[in-house]
Amino acid sequence: MSAEYADALGNLVDQLAKLPGIGRKSAQRLAFHLLKAPKKDAYALAKAIITAKERITYCKVCFNLTDQELCPICANPNRDSHLICVVEDARDVLALERAHEFKGLYHVLNGVISPMDGIGPESLKIKELLIRLQNNDVEEVIIATNSTIEGEATAMYLANLLKPLGVKVTRIAQGLPVGGDIEYADEVTLARAFNGRLEL
């Protein structure tokens, strides 16, 4: 750290700059903000980080993040346990919940198959999904991995694995985003939108 900084300030800037999307300039701005902020506010942030790290674990059923044994969704008796929506990440659960469309349960893979990054199926929570399917009367598994190469490959892998078990396996639709312009859509999206067309 440069001598112009007080050590404690330099260390704070260093730590903030490690956060994703926060460069050194932003880290400096945040550090100065925290130094100017009331002591109570800065401490609340520090405490929130420590508490979250101490309390938050994975739901033992679906691997969503939770501070209980079961996540709020798995613990909710009103959710339809015949449907399981498979997602890559706990953040995807939040995004899908905001759409208020799906009333079943989730299963968080905690990643996607990505040979480039050395992530094979055994690194994901796939074995745990198979166990859930054996023990419960699940009727449909909806695969909601991202529309990326890795997301698609993982969807294919899961479909091949789950279909022989007699469970219905579906994939969320691909097509034009709502408000999207055909003129600016890429060819692959347009092709998918055609293939997935529905009768009106």
Q: Which residues bind a copy of itself (CB under 8 A)?
A: 3-9, 11-12, 14-16, 18-22, 26, 28-35, 39, 41-56, 65-68, 71-73, 89-91, 93-94, 97
Could you tell me if 141 and 169 are in contact, meaning their C-beta atoms sit under 8 angstroms apart?
yes
As measured in angstroms, the least distance from the Cβ of 69 to a copy of itself is 12
Could you tell me if 64 and 90 are in contact, meaning their C-beta atoms sit under 8 angstroms apart?
yes
- What is the residue type of 142? I
Query: Which CB sits closer to a copy of itself, 49 or 190?
Result: 49
Query: Which CB sits closer to a copy of itself, 72 or 120?
Result: 72
As measured in angstroms, the least distance from the Cβ of 7 to a copy of itself is 6
Query: Which CB sits closer to a copy of itself, 8 or 165?
Result: 8
**Whole-number Å distance between alpha carbons of 143 and 157:** 11
DSSP states along 81-118: EEEEEEESSHHHHHHHHHTT---EEEEE-SS--BGGGT
As measured in angstroms, the least distance from the Cβ of 60 to a copy of itself is 14
